[in-house]
Amino acid sequence: MSRVEPKHIAIVPARHGSKGLKNKNFLNFCGRPLYQHAVEQALRVADMCILSTDNSAILKQTNPKEKFMIHSRPPQLASDRSPIDQSLIDIIKKFNLKNQTIILLQPTSPLRTDADIEAALALYKASNFDLVISVCSTDSKILKSGFTRGKTFIPMSKSKYLFMNRQSLPSIFKPNGAIFIFDSNWFIKNKGFETDKIGHILMDEELSMDIDDEKDFKIAERLFCSHINSNIN
* Residue range 123-148, pLDDT digits in tens: 999 999 999 999 999 999 999 999 99
Residue 83 CB neighbour total at 10 angstroms:
11
- Residue 100 sits in a domain of what CATH number? 3.90.550.10
**Each residue of 62-79: pLDDT tens digit?**
655 678 999 999 888 877
Give the residue numbers spanning the domain of 136: 8-141+173-227
58 versus 129: the higher-pLDDT residue is 129
Say if 153 falls within a structural domain: no
Say if 161 falls within a structural domain: no
> How many domains does the chain divide into?
1
Say if 157 falls within a structural domain: no
**Each residue of 16-44: pLDDT tens digit?**
877 778 889 999 999 999 999 999 999 99
Say if 47 falls within a structural domain: yes
Say if 130 falls within a structural domain: yes
Find all residues with CB under 8 Å of 66, minimum gap 6, and list them: none
In the chain, what percentage of residues exceed pLDDT 70?
93
Please give the distance of CA 72 from its chain centroid, rounded to a whole number.
19
Three-state DSSP class for 111?
Answer: coil
Say if 154 falls within a structural domain: no
Say if 147 falls within a structural domain: no
pTM higher than the cut 0.75? yes
In the chain, what percentage of residues exceed pLDDT 90?
77
Q: How far apart are CA 220 and CA 230, in angstroms?
A: 15
Say if 233 falls within a structural domain: no
